[in-house]
Structure 1
Amino acid sequence: MKTKNQSWFIISMMLIAANLRLPITIIPPLLKSIEKNLGVPGSLMGLVTSIPLIAFAVFSPIIVKIAKKFGNELTVFLFFIILIVGSYLRIIPSIWALFIGTTLVGIGIDSGNVLVPAMIKDHLPTKIPLGTGLYTLSMLLIGAIGTALSGIFITKISLGSTLAILSALSIVALIVWIPNLRSNTKDTVSSDEEESVPNYRTVWNQSVGWLITVYFGLQSLVYYSLLTWVPSVIESHGVSTVVSSNILTLLQLSGLPCSFIVPMFASKVNGRRFLSTFLIIGYVLGPMLFLLDIKTTWILVIISFLTGFGSGIAFNEAIYYFTNKTTNPYQTAEVSGMAQSAGYLLAAFGPVLFGFLHELVNSWSVTMIIMSILSVVLVVSGIIINHHEPIAEH
């Protein structure tokens, strides 16, 4: 058996996780520059967020199969090369480069989305809450910092330079990941044996797998829609671009404590009640509160914090379900791939649909009301999952 260096894996895993939202979260502050410099119609700007989500949906089940054949660590390495190519392709000042590059970015990111939870279960079998917490912490923290830096850089340097600088972290992550290739994990069970092994019952025909998929899809749809349009909603009330960008950064940062709060609380009855309460406050009430004509910064800060805290609970609970409602690393990868395939396909409609609805009715009210309704369904599905047995082994 190959020796797994847990300390190195944790460091390199955190760098991989740091790049799983960064290429997407740096875009909202750049939307006006992209629209102006490249001539992209405003009605299509939501696609810049939706394209990676569509890539997640299409490639998640494919990545599971590729990793099963070539190994998790090698698959992440190869797909991160695709991520880097896509990131720097977006520097070219043309619409085709923007959309093709964004597609490649989405494909590259998806390998980490799908496989890192499974590798945490494999590399850190006795430290899953720690690994999961550091994974989501890195993803959310660097994503939020990226939004803030993007808003600052675009006022000082060009669009291409901003994208180039903020994409450099993916190169660092790829280099640091290389030592993990020595412990590349492959599924050694043949397809004939697989049929006779109880642990390989597919998650696609199990109700808990679909419940996790619904939960993941709804939390992604609401989160990426908020990420794309909250600055525009706030600015429609007369708030400056700088303030709206900072509010969006705070919204992302507010979810950071949930990286450790959720793993600690999710296994306890009272803990789950606490999480459900703040999920309702943040995700059900949060979108509605942004509709209020508020220009007072400290009130916007409170609303942003509550909404961001709710988003952190939703995302971290989804990751928690991947590892705690499965019984082995392959099953974890399979349910992760399933949830992110169907879930991100659902989420991809959010930014585009809500942007279209805004143009149609010239108001954000319909958009935010729909988000709140979807969040109610999210909360109910989470309660059902928490009372459900883990995915069956046979």
Structure 2
Amino acid sequence: MTKSSHSAVSKTLAISAIILLGANLRAPITSVGPLLDQIIQTFHLSAVSAGWLNALPLLAFGLLAPVAPIIGRRFGLERALFIAVVLVALGTLVRSIGQQWGLWLGTLLMPSGIALANVLLPPLARRDFSHNPAGIIGLYVTVMSVTASLASGIANPLAELSGSWQFALGIWVLPAMLAVALWGRRIKGLPRSEPVSPPQSVAKHLPDAAASKLRSPWRSALGWQVSLFMALQSLSFYTLLGWFTPYAISQGYSANEAGGLLFCYQIVAIFVNLLGVSLLKKSTDQRLLAFCATLAIFIGIAGLLLMPHLALLWMLITGLGNGSSLLISLSLFGLRTHDHHQAAMLSGMAQCVGYITASVGPLAFGVIHTLYHAWQPALVVLLLSVVLQMLFAALAGRNQKI
């Protein structure tokens, strides 16, 4: 095999591994929402316990995010991502065995793997596809959106066909095992770890390189602005994902109809990604894109509050906004940093702050609904969080670097 053909095979393997890992980053989570009522009935969970079931993955995302860059440097990005997909497969399997301890243990293991991948995939794209990292990010976000929406859409039909919600959750261990096999092949022959410090070939081309490499996003106002933009986007996305089915059922929709609406909510992100990657490549300033994305979320949630009978329209609009916001958030990790090492630091910070903040959403939504015995107060609070996101869209979208 010639050197050029070997390089082409390596690139194909790298892209395939990223795509398959992307397919496992949201589907195991989005499959829970449509089945939440059945899970509550099986284990006699309270509304607060159900809120924790939705919140725990986000807490795992947030708490493990700062650790992910350390694991990435210690073992190398590829080996760390292999560990990630093994955790996803194991957690998905354990969660679906039908025991309450397995439900909770799997709900901790599975998002622990996703947390590592959330942080380490953007810097991997920045390192290996430096000519077009936004394109690679857009590709795996698109795959992530397709499988996430598919998981929501088929969860109830699968549970009805099999007579078991456990089967509807457990089927997602199959793509996870495929990803384990592909990433296992990819790490063969790799060096034991990546260098901890940035390459000199990169550093010498940057002004004040030593300072820029050592500057922590935690000490940067811009780092906090990017992190809080992602936090508020994640809060609205996961709150709707976890609680929309009970809300829709209360408005007269069936469980299958609610699952279909969640499918539409997420599948629309595909079209956003195709257009968004092109717009991000052409723009040096992302303020307008980020503001418009956030405005769409506001309009959609306001529509659900005021005219729930048009839920399909509002879920499509909200999905457009959340899909755009996620793509912008992930792209900002590279756009606001100097190299993939600093991008990993910002990715870890943003996802730590973002997902810990977002975990408050499902919990608070459930508590407010329980206190007022109505959905409207909880939706109003969710709208207020979107108004805050508009502020951070204007700040994080400026063309600056940490």
- Both structures adopt the same fold (TM-score exceeding 0.5): yes
The secondary structure found in structure 2 opposite 1:126 is coil
Aligned residues: 385
Q: Tell me if 1:339 matches 2:354.
A: no
- Please give the residue correspondences for 1:220-259 in structure 2 after superposition, counting only pairs within 5 Å: 220-259=234-273
Q: Which whole-Å deviations, capped at 9, do the CAs of 1:22-69 have from their partners, x for residues lacking one?
A: 110000111122112222223311222211111111111111111111
Q: Determine which of 180, 188, 196 is the counterpart of 2:195.
A: 188
Residue identity matched to 2:291: S
Q: Which whole-Å deviations, capped at 9, do the CAs of 1:167-220 have from their partners, x for residues lacking one?
A: 2111111111223214468441459x99x9332322110111111110111100
Identify the residue that residue 98 of structure 1 maps to in structure 2: 103
Q: Determine which of 167, 179, 185 is the counterpart of 2:185.
A: 179
Relative to structure 1, the CA distance from residue 63 to residue 34 in structure 2 (aligned partners, 3 Å threshold; closer, same or farther) is same
**CA–CA separation in structure 1 for the residues paired with 2:75 and 2:41:** 43
Identify the residue that residue 210 of structure 2 maps to in structure 1: 197
The secondary structure found in structure 2 opposite 1:61 is coil
- Please give the residue correspondences for 1:266-277 in structure 2 after superposition, counting only pairs within 5 Å: 266=280, 267-268=282-283, 273=288, 276-277=291-292
Identify the residue that residue 58 of structure 1 maps to in structure 2: 63
Q: Is the 8 A contact 2:290 2:397 kept in 1?
A: no
**CA–CA separation in structure 1 for the residues paired with 2:286 and 2:342:** 26
Identify the residue that residue 79 of structure 2 maps to in structure 1: 74
**CA–CA separation in structure 2 for the residues paired with 1:129 and 1:268:** 12
Q: Which whole-Å deviations, capped at 9, do the CAs of 1:339-386 have from their partners, x for residues lacking one?
A: 111111100111011011001001111111111111121122111122
Identify the residue that residue 369 of structure 1 maps to in structure 2: 380
Q: Which structure 2 segments of 5+ residues have no match? A: 1-5, 204-208
Q: Tell me if 1:10 matches 2:25.
A: no
Q: Is the 8 A contact 2:47 2:370 kept in 1?
A: no
Q: Which whole-Å deviations, capped at 9, do the CAs of 1:49-95 have from their partners, x for residues lacking one?
A: 21111111111111111111111110111122122111111122222
Q: Residue 241 of structure 1: CA displacement?
A: 1.9
**CA–CA separation in structure 2 for the residues paired with 1:293 and 1:82:** 41
The secondary structure found in structure 2 opposite 1:338 is helix
**CA–CA separation in structure 1 for the residues paired with 2:191 and 2:153:** 36
Identify the residue that residue 291 of structure 1 maps to in structure 2: 305
Identify the residue that residue 151 of structure 2 maps to in structure 1: 146
Residue identity matched to 1:85: L
Please, which moves more after superposition, 182-191 or 114-123? Answer: 182-191
The secondary structure found in structure 2 opposite 1:290 is helix
Identify the residue that residue 396 of structure 2 maps to in structure 1: 385
**CA–CA separation in structure 1 for the residues paired with 2:191 and 2:354:** 28
Q: Is the 8 A contact 2:336 2:400 kept in 1?
A: yes
Please, which moves more after superposition, 254-263 or 336-345? Answer: 254-263
Relative to structure 1, the CA distance from residue 189 to residue 106 in structure 2 (aligned partners, 3 Å threshold; closer, same or farther) is closer
Q: Is the 8 A contact 2:74 2:194 kept in 1?
A: yes
**CA–CA separation in structure 2 for the residues paired with 1:79 and 1:47:** 22
**CA–CA separation in structure 2 for the residues paired with 1:387 and 1:271:** 6
Identify the residue that residue 3 of structure 2 maps to in structure 1: none
Identify the residue that residue 307 of structure 1 maps to in structure 2: 318
Q: Which structure 1 segments of 5+ residues have no match? A: none
Q: Is the 8 A contact 1:255 1:313 kept in 2?
A: yes
Q: CA RMSD in A?
A: 2.3
The secondary structure found in structure 2 opposite 1:291 is helix
The secondary structure found in structure 1 opposite 2:269 is coil
Q: Is the 8 A contact 1:26 1:150 kept in 2?
A: yes
Identify the residue that residue 348 of structure 1 maps to in structure 2: 359
Identify the residue that residue 126 of structure 2 maps to in structure 1: 121
Per the normalisation by structure 1, the TM-score is 0.92
Q: Is the 8 A contact 1:132 1:259 kept in 2?
A: no
Please, which moves more after superposition, 362-371 or 99-108? Answer: 362-371
Please, which moves more after superposition, 153-162 or 204-213? Answer: 153-162
Please, which moves more after superposition, 46-55 or 214-223? Answer: 46-55
Q: Residue 8 of structure 1: CA displacement?
A: 1.4
**CA–CA separation in structure 2 for the residues paired with 1:17 and 1:187:** 23
Please, which moves more after superposition, 89-98 or 218-227? Answer: 89-98
**CA–CA separation in structure 2 for the residues paired with 1:86 and 1:176:** 18
Sequence identity of aligned pairs in percent? 25
Relative to structure 1, the CA distance from residue 327 to residue 228 in structure 2 (aligned partners, 3 Å threshold; closer, same or farther) is same
Per the normalisation by structure 2, the TM-score is 0.90
**CA–CA separation in structure 1 for the residues paired with 2:383 and 2:177:** 38
